[in-house]
Structure 1
Amino acid sequence: MAKPKPLSSTRLRAVMPPEKIAYADSREIPQSAAIKPPQPRALMGLEMGLAISDPGYNVYVAGDPNLGRTYMVRQFLEPRAAKMDRPTDLVYVYNFQDPDRPRIMRLPAGGGKTFKKALDAAITDIRREIPERLEQDSFARKSETLLRSFQDRREEMVREMEKRASAKGFELEVDEQGGMSLYPLVEGKVVSEIDFDKLDVGLRTKLKKSGDTLLAEMTKSLRQLTREERDYREDRRKLERSVVDAVLDVHLKPLADGYEDSDDVSGYLKALRADILDNMDQFLPADSAPVSGMQALFDGGSQVDFFVRYTVNRFVDNCDCSGAPIIFENHPTVANLLGSIERESEMGALYTDFTLIKAGALHRANGGFLVLRMEDLLQEPQAWDGLLRALRAGVSKIEDAQEREAMRTKGIEPKPVPLSVKVILIGTDDIYETLYAVDDRFPKLFKLKAHMQDTVPRSASSIKGYLGVLARIIRDADLAPFDSTALAALVDHASRMAEDQKKLSLQLPLVRELMIEASALARIEKREVVSSDIFERAARNRDFRANYYEEEFLGEYDRQLIKVATTGDAVGRANGLAVTAYGGYEFGLPHQISCTVGVGHGGILDLEREAELGGPIHTKGMMILKSYLTGLFAQDKPLVLTGSLCFEQSYVEVEGDSASGAELASLLSALSGAPINHAYAFTGAVSQSGAIMAVGGVTRKIEGFFQVCKRRGLTGKQGVIVPKDNVVHLMLGTEVVEAVKAGMFHIYPVETIEQAMEILTGLPAGKRRPSGKFPTGTLYRRVDDRLAELAELAAKNQCDE
């Protein structure tokens, strides 16, 4: 196989020529150029969610952060919600039949505000007018007539009773409360109790007997007197009721006529009218002693609080909506999401009523859309459970917070709210998979997954749409215009973010941040338009603010505190590459991989694994490496050796198999004795057949090794060996591209470990001949001979023992 040639500078990155941008600057890009977001799966999931009204077809928008998930959902919902009907208002009112269970009523959108205003005005007028009418002369005359009639009848009955008592020899006294006393008369004089005891026994007996008979007769008359008084009070009550009834006709009947088509409202107003008539005393002029605050609480409220029952709690008010509501709840606690029943304190006692029932986001979104972020919602397990229960039942039961406490006080139980809401959850795919596996309610209630993708192909149509999105960001954020060179640089930056020459990253929030900084830099420099040089400086400034740790590491390389050679060669040592991340900043660094081999039966030890610093994927890479040796060199002899592989000066966990190619290179070098050229670094995963496979972060890895070489002085012979499959992922910075173009740095794409070893050692790998031997002078011949020698030495030592 021919030795690979280094890549030309034109293959190291995708470049968007500014002349291919059809606009001089972003101001010329029409708003129509921003085509719909390139998220076909997400948009299909949302479309299906709107089209299906059956319960359970709620939507989970799955995607990584910084994809503009919330923005996309908002942009999708707003135009569609605006065309939908406004949902009805929901109001809670007093339940006159069962005060502990407030009633809920539906009213047309905006009707809750109108109804409450009209009812409050009617009750205010009723409270004012009833006392006024009861104080009018006409009512006073009628009341006086009733009273005189009763008093005349009472006086006549009392005189009759007194006459009958006198005829029997007794004197009768009747007090105002209806109490009756009889006193005997002896010789025309009233006998006191003391004098009565002094009378003759026979006379006393006679008087007592006559008194008892008379008292029995008088009791019948007294009962008649009580009935007369009761009749008077009833007549008086009827008179007052007729006045109140007339007032209610004036103020409640017009209100009731406006809601004849609503059985709920009509029934409520009838019950309200009956309750006012049953509690007329509350509307009469206050002429009784005031009730104490504590007694008022035991009686169901203070004198003023009594009238709260005649008001309306506008639980959900859609008067300001234009279409279906879209509620983004950013703090989904139990109360904020599911509603609550608040309590107030009076005289040290807690109380509640239907006016203290508060709606949650779930209720405000009823008839529309509720959008929640899973990262926020999972911080509130009770809110999450309550949401699932409500969606499963189709109604939301508003619970008193004290129901979750050990001690409960008397509360209320509002009627549950029927739900007709589409819930949209926004979260990562990992959260989706976890919920799908551990909560059987989740897949039943969120049947639609709207999956967002990270990238879009870099095609002419997608670039056009991407430019439209950039123009919209510039307009919305009021940024300085971007000229064609800056727009072209933004397209290339999107490919660098995607780490792919043929794709554009859709992490638009991160792009927006950089655009804001570029615009600010242009204004600092008093430039009216953002050009590519300003944009690139903004990107460099952003990196500079975040690359402190990278500079610290590079300083360690400069001082040779981290031992990585960029010139010379050595046996059993290769330069590998790794990517490190601090916060949102990633950078590549080289590291030395070393291998030792000798006589023995211990095999190749992975020191990272032995020190518990190697992850399972790295361990698998080591096993593949051993399998490669077995398949290639153990056909005619056993592999008998001892040795070790390790990452020098590495004190953190190593994970991934991207270093397995460099590990195999150091092992083959140690076995063959052929030195590895340290002017090269090598990254790539190796298969059991020796193929070099693609790895991640290849751009950052190359740039990391380039920086170390540059700081030590480029020789023109340094470079990086990468998997051929990774060539399309290269989006190298201008500095590296210029160095390659000048012949001062080289990047070699390889497909097999044999190609890599030829570059690293300068020796051809060799191919096994039909005789079973590799050609003389090849790398694999030297490895094969050394393995045979180690096997013989091991066998000899065993015989000597």
Structure 2
Amino acid sequence: MRRITYDELIYETPVQEPERTNEDLPPPPAFYGQTKAKAALEHALKAETHAYLTGPSGTQKKETLLAYLGPVAATRPTPPDLLYLPVSEREVMGLVLPNGEGPRFVREVEAFLCEAEPLQTLFREAAFLEEKRRIEGQYRARQEALLLELEQEAATHGFTLHRTEDGFRLEGQDESALPELEARLEETVLAYLDLANQAERAVDELRRRWAERYLEPKRRALTARYPAAERYLDHLYALMVRAVVEDRLPESWEAVKPNLLIHHRPGGGAPVVFEPVPTLSRLVGRIEHTVEEGVLTTHAGLIRPGALHRANGGFLVLEAAEVLKHPHSWDALKRALKNGQVAIEEPGEEERVRTLGLDPEPLPVRVQVFLVGPVHVFDLLESLDEEFRELFRFRVEFDPYLDANEETVRAVAGLLAERGLKPFTLGAVARLVDEGKRWVERIDKTDARVNELLALAREAAALADGTVDRAAVEAAIQARHARVDLAERFYFDGLKQGTWLIETEGTRVGQVNGLVVIEGFHGEYGRPVRITARAAPGRDGVVSIERETNLSGPVFNKAVLTLAGYLRGQYAEVGAISATISLVFEQQYDEIEGDSAGLAELLAVLSAIGQVPLRQDLAVTGAVDQYGRVLPVGSVARKIEGFFHACRVQGLSGRQGVVFPKANAQNLTLEREVLEAVREGRFHLYAVAHVDEAIELLSGLRPTGYRGFHEQVRAVLERFHALENGSEESRSSDT
């Protein structure tokens, strides 16, 4: 057993210039204090594999990653341009061009499309018109020959052929020859119209030859510069020639122009993309539509890129929980990473009949994905998804703690300056770091949840008129506690009024002040709980009333069974434990979980068996194993504070204190009021490593030896054993 001194409890972080402000301090480097996480990330970058970043919420994993990737990406090659090109009414081909060539290709195609306009002028030139007149003249002459032949034949029968607005008409007197002549007229008219159609087709062919003669060299030149786009350029060339031949140029060529999906500034390095809402369409892209005269239409120019397109050649950062939240996104992401290409998908496309529309082919992508999320999501994916294990082989885990030293104080001070908060003194920042120690209950570490430190800093800045000093931070801490301490105040008010029966002086048999923690909005607070035990001869061993009434969790139940194991081992020479010991947490009506009351429960049980009174001015916390070793527990500082406040309410006697596990000495980040009470000798802390040390403190007896604590317990157990065995023998003889 060791009594803790005031000097051992001081945990303030020293700074050399506490009054200096942070205005000229630089922000901390990315991954400050996260050496292992940084090493894992660098390894993943070298291996060019995907990674999952995890750690406590609030450690700014995403922000740190993005800040780190920025300079890394700037040194990488700028990725190529991605384009979509329509090659039919439905098909859209993908095109990958070296960086910078995409915009030039678009400009050259647009210039090529503009060449359709000059052709209209070309068709008004003398050479074209002369050739057109010659062709039309040839067919007109053949038409006239047909009519002349019919006129001559009609004249032999006394008929005359007349041309009218409605066509041709025969006039004559010989009715007998009329049927034959009308048949000949019909044949001649059909032949006449056929020649007119032939003439029109011949002129169209002339226009086609002239158009091809003009456009073909330009198409060949484009194809030579962009051979990968040959299929698209051939399609474009055919559309242009057809439009010219039919003399139906569209008002706009927008529907057939190239869609420059992705282009990065030359020399700008690789992209770093964070997609906050990774729906399927925002991840793999989408096809937009317009409504024209009530009809839904689309074209290649309305294809929009997704985050995977934008991150091609670089890095994509996603929040794991958000990806899993949106249907189809996770499967689409895995497909893209496995296949190295992105296909634009519609939600639920596999389950329904696909409507006619564009069919863009997948585009090749090469991207390194970083998922950011909690540990439980990683564990879930790793256990249930084999593809996740194959794709995300690196786990980058953030440490929940930062070293609590002046370097960290300066790092946090620089971060506050970077975020644009009011000036802070280094002493004020040190107080923030010390409060972080209380959050994690480590005297040598502070909380790595930078977001929580920033939140408290903003609250302190709101209370300060100018520069934020240590007093402003202290006021913000007290104000935060006052906002959420209603339940705590109600409890201690009830303690003062006698509603809660807690004794902080004197001695009791079978009763120990245990300590529990109650979780609140901003952390947790501790309070004492009266643990009582009653023992009598029997066969049931230790009976936990909480366990019997389903008011306990599995870890609590395990701790109770551990007590039974200790009793069997410690008093093995007695034989089977012939006792029934009821154990209960008095005035506790909610479910209890955890093993931190194991030591207090064991002391209450031993006191009840041996009828040895225990001090009520000492509270006890700590787990215990079957050999009586005292094990560390969580929230030990909050528990100590809870008992201190209870003693203050009922009156500090100068003898009160808390017995806690020796291994928890590094966790005593106690509030100032408790520290002052320890310094003044009004409150005491005792670190123990074995149950025997706690027995000596609470009972005042030696654990072993003549009339020692264990000897008294053993004597009672032997008496219980004799009584139980006597009962068995009596029942046997009666039988």
Give the TM-score taking structure 1 as reference length.
0.84
> Is it true that 1:272 corresponds to 2:210 in the alignment?
no
The equivalent of 1:793 in structure 2 is 723
The equivalent of 1:783 in structure 2 is 713
The equivalent of 1:162 in structure 2 is 151
The more displaced of 397-406 and 568-577 is 397-406
Query: Deviation at 1:782?
Result: 1.3
Does the CA-based 8 Å contact 1:127-1:283 persist in structure 2? Answer: no
Q: Alignment partner of 2:328: what SS?
A: helix
Q: Distance in 2 between matches of 1:536 and 1:321?
A: 50
| Cα 1:161–1:476 shift into 2, 3 Å | same
Give the TM-score taking structure 2 as reference length.
0.91
Q: Alignment partner of 1:26: what SS?
A: coil
Is there any run of 5+ residues in structure 1 with no aligned partner, and where? 197-203, 286-302, 767-773
The equivalent of 1:59 in structure 2 is 51
The equivalent of 1:686 in structure 2 is 624
The equivalent of 1:441 in structure 2 is 387
Q: What does the per-residue CA deviation read over 1:86-117, in whole Å, with 9 as the maximum and x for residues that have no partner?
A: 22222212113xx3221111234454445445
Query: Deviation at 1:270?
Result: 3.5
The equivalent of 1:94 in structure 2 is 86
Does the CA-based 8 Å contact 1:595-1:645 persist in structure 2? Answer: yes
| Cα 1:506–1:638 shift into 2, 3 Å | same
The equivalent of 2:285 in structure 1 is 339
Q: Distance in 2 between matches of 1:515 and 1:680?
A: 37
Q: Alignment partner of 2:23: what SS?
A: helix
Q: What does the per-residue CA deviation read over 1:27-53, in whole Å, with 9 as the maximum and x for residues that have no partner?
A: 35455x757522233223322332234
Matched residue type, 2:661: P
Query: Deviation at 1:730?
Result: 1.1
Q: Distance in 1 between matches of 2:470 and 2:662?
A: 31
Matched residue type, 1:775: Y
* Percent identity (aligned): 30
Q: Alignment partner of 1:378: what SS?
A: helix
Equivalent in 58, 67, 82 of residue 75 of structure 1: 67
Superposition pairs of residues 96-495 of structure 1, within 5 angstroms = 96=88, 99-117=89-107, 119-120=109-110, 123=113, 125-126=114-115, 128-131=117-120, 134=123, 143-144=132-133, 146-167=135-156, 189-191=173-175, 196=176, 215=184, 225=192, 228-241=195-208, 244-245=211-212, 248=215, 253=218, 257=221, 260-280=224-244, 283-284=247-248, 307-319=253-265, 322-401=268-347, 403=349, 406=352, 408-458=354-404, 463-464=406-407, 466-495=408-437
| Cα 1:707–1:120 shift into 2, 3 Å | farther
Superposition pairs of residues 472-621 of structure 1, within 5 angstroms = 472-522=414-464, 525=465, 527=466, 529-621=467-559
Query: Deviation at 1:272?
Result: 0.8
| Cα 1:489–1:683 shift into 2, 3 Å | same
Superposition pairs of residues 26-37 of structure 1, within 5 angstroms = 26-30=22-26, 34=29, 36-37=31-32
Q: Distance in 1 between matches of 2:72 and 2:334?
A: 25
Is there any run of 5+ residues in structure 2 with no aligned partner, and where? none
Q: Alignment partner of 1:345: what SS?
A: strand
Q: Distance in 1 between matches of 2:565 and 2:285?
A: 62
The equivalent of 2:8 in structure 1 is 11
Query: Deviation at 1:454?
Result: 1.0
Q: What does the per-residue CA deviation read over 1:562-610, in whole Å, with 9 as the maximum and x for residues that have no partner?
A: 2222222211111111122123321112111111111222222111111
| Cα 1:90–1:190 shift into 2, 3 Å | farther
Query: Deviation at 1:172?
Result: 6.2
Does the CA-based 8 Å contact 2:86-2:93 persist in structure 1? Answer: yes
Q: Distance in 1 between matches of 2:358 and 2:599?
A: 71
Q: Distance in 1 between matches of 2:536 and 2:220?
A: 101
| Cα 1:402–1:702 shift into 2, 3 Å | closer
Q: Distance in 2 between matches of 1:516 and 1:331?
A: 28
Does the CA-based 8 Å contact 1:399-1:413 persist in structure 2? Answer: no
Q: Distance in 1 between matches of 2:589 and 2:263?
A: 61
Does the CA-based 8 Å contact 2:443-2:667 persist in structure 1? Answer: yes
Q: Distance in 2 between matches of 1:633 and 1:651?
A: 33
Query: Deviation at 1:551?
Result: 2.0
Query: Deviation at 1:534?
Result: 1.9
Paired residues in the alignment total 731
Q: Distance in 1 between matches of 2:541 and 2:277?
A: 57
Query: Deviation at 1:457?
Result: 4.2
Query: Deviation at 1:406?
Result: 4.0
Q: Distance in 2 between matches of 1:792 and 1:304?
A: 110
Query: Deviation at 1:734?
Result: 1.1
Q: Distance in 2 between matches of 1:536 and 1:273?
A: 76
Matched residue type, 1:492: D
Superposition pairs of residues 705-720 of structure 1, within 5 angstroms = 705-720=643-658
Q: Distance in 2 between matches of 1:431 and 1:241?
A: 64
Q: What does the per-residue CA deviation read over 1:63-102, in whole Å, with 9 as the maximum and x for residues that have no partner?
A: 1211111111112101111122222222212113xx3221
Q: Distance in 2 between matches of 1:746 and 1:449?
A: 44
| Cα 1:227–1:72 shift into 2, 3 Å | same
Q: Alignment partner of 2:499: what SS?
A: coil
| Cα 1:555–1:131 shift into 2, 3 Å | farther
| Cα 1:277–1:35 shift into 2, 3 Å | closer
Does the CA-based 8 Å contact 1:256-1:269 persist in structure 2? Answer: no
| Cα 1:473–1:628 shift into 2, 3 Å | same
Query: Deviation at 1:121?
Result: 5.7
The more displaced of 659-668 and 40-49 is 40-49
Matched residue type, 1:276: M
Q: Distance in 2 between matches of 1:190 and 1:738?
A: 141
| Cα 1:134–1:359 shift into 2, 3 Å | same
Q: Distance in 2 between matches of 1:35 and 1:409?
A: 49
Does the CA-based 8 Å contact 1:94-1:102 persist in structure 2? Answer: yes
